[in-house]
Amino acid sequence: MADHFDLIVLGGGPGGYVAAIRAAQLKLKVALVERVHLGGICLNWGCIPTKSLLRSAEVYHEMQNAEAYGLTSFKPDFDLDRIIARSREVAARLASGVKTLLRKNKVEVISGVGQLTSNHQMLVTTAEGEEKAFEAKDIIIATGARARQLPNVRADGKHIWTYHHALKPPEMPKKLLVIGSGAIGVEFASFYADFGAEVSIVEHAPQILPMEDAEVSAYVAKAFAKRGIRILTQSALQNLTPDDEGVTAEISGADGKVVKERFSHAIVAIGVVANVEDIGLDKLGVELNRGFIAVDGFGRTNVKMCGRSGMSLVHLALPIRPAIRV
């Protein structure tokens, strides 16, 4: 017999755990299924630890410019391992807080990989391989997203990184190529530049931060240029070849000419893709739109729940805003 709930939330990120807590406050019996860590990417491998790194970079920058504040001159240094450890401690502390909030609001947390088997049933497989069935009147899908990979070469954590690798770097890059200038790209460009890396940003659009207002983009671009960050707009990465010493990038500019250049590391920050595979959406006929779950104005999919009118599989996403020093 399957355990029954009023609501099952698949995914424990900022969309999922907030929805679960609010539903529990409204007196629903709620279960939350999470396969890795509560708090999701934003808390564990995104916004929160990134802001911690940027805070360390900000303090280090002010130390380097202490004389401007009338303070005695000295030569500051940094410990990369300790900087990274602090960011992980911040993330872990907040993730623990999420766990406490869920427990206080009587949300049942189920650790494992969830897969929809019908419009009101879910099968959860634990890390030990045990399977258990659950039923619910409604289901919320909040499985989040992951880093988009380059089509011809995958990030390996050695010389080609995604945001996940960049948050726990094995070493400080000497010459860094940031591919993409959205929120993730500019944040890491700012962080590594503050600690001495020679940073270049390649962006296909006419401006960095292409989703932001032109005035914001121009201000950030000017500040970055002043800090020595090279910005290549209207440019495209044609090829990226890793080897034991670094990577070779082939970059085409606005004039169409392709230039080869060596870098010690590259960060791939070309956006994200939704985690919609292997959770049963295809079996239920849930419609997708450009790789994301298609929903109506109320966040409902095309799949009806338990024969009732209205569609109640919901995909939640939160925007990410950059926090950089300019």
Under DSSP, is residue 281 helix (H, G, I), strand (E, B) or coil? helix
CB-based contact 238:232 (threshold 8 Å): no
Given this model, what pLDDT does residue 1 score? 57
Given this model, what pLDDT does residue 297 score? 87
Q: What is the arithmetic mean of pLDDT over 214-232?
A: 96
Given this model, what pLDDT does residue 11 score? 96
Given this model, what pLDDT does residue 314 score? 46
Residues 69-85 have pLDDT tens digits of 898 877 899 999 999 99
Given this model, what pLDDT does residue 325 score? 54
Q: Is pLDDT above 60 for 122?
A: yes
Q: What is the arithmetic mean of pLDDT over 8-24?
A: 95
**pTM of the predicted model over 0.75:** yes
Question: Rounded to whole angstroms, how far apart are CA atoms 11 and 102?
Answer: 13
Q: What is the arithmetic mean of pLDDT over 199-210?
A: 97
Q: Is pLDDT above 70 for 242?
A: yes
> Which one is predicted more confidently, 304 or 144?
144
Residues 280-300 have pLDDT tens digits of 999 999 999 989 999 888 888
Given this model, what pLDDT does residue 316 score? 41
Question: Rounded to whole angstroms, how far apart are CA atoms 50 and 123?
Answer: 34
Q: Is pLDDT above 60 for 304?
A: yes
Q: Name the strand (E) or helix (H) holding 298.
A: none
DSSP string, 210-243: TTS-HHHHHHHHHHHHHTT-EEE-S-EEEEEEE-
Q: What share of the chain is helix, strand, coil (3-state, %, to 5)?
A: 30, 30, 40
Go through the domains of the chain in sequence order and give each one's CATH number. 3-146+273-315 (3.50.50.60), 149-270 (3.50.50.60)
For residue 206, CA distances in Å to 63, 73, 211, 234, 242 come to 35, 41, 11, 5, 27
Q: What is the arithmetic mean of pLDDT over 122-129?
A: 92
Q: Is pLDDT above 90 for 152?
A: no
Q: What is the arithmetic mean of pLDDT over 272-279?
A: 93
Q: What is the arithmetic mean of pLDDT over 301-310?
A: 64
Confidence grade of residue 13 (pLDDT, cut at 50, 70, 90): very high
Q: Is pLDDT above 50 for 121?
A: yes
Q: Is pLDDT above 80 for 326?
A: no
Given this model, what pLDDT does residue 32 score? 97
Q: Is pLDDT above 50 for 309?
A: no
What is the distance of C-alpha 103 from the center of its chain? 25
Q: What is the arithmetic mean of pLDDT over 195-211?
A: 97
Share above pLDDT 70 across residues of the chain, in percent, rounded to a whole number:
93
Q: What is the arithmetic mean of pLDDT over 240-251?
A: 96
**How wide is the angle at C-alpha 64 spanned by C-alphas 62 and 69, nearest 5°?**
55
Q: What is the arithmetic mean of pLDDT over 110-128?
A: 93
Q: What is the arithmetic mean of pLDDT over 15-19?
A: 95
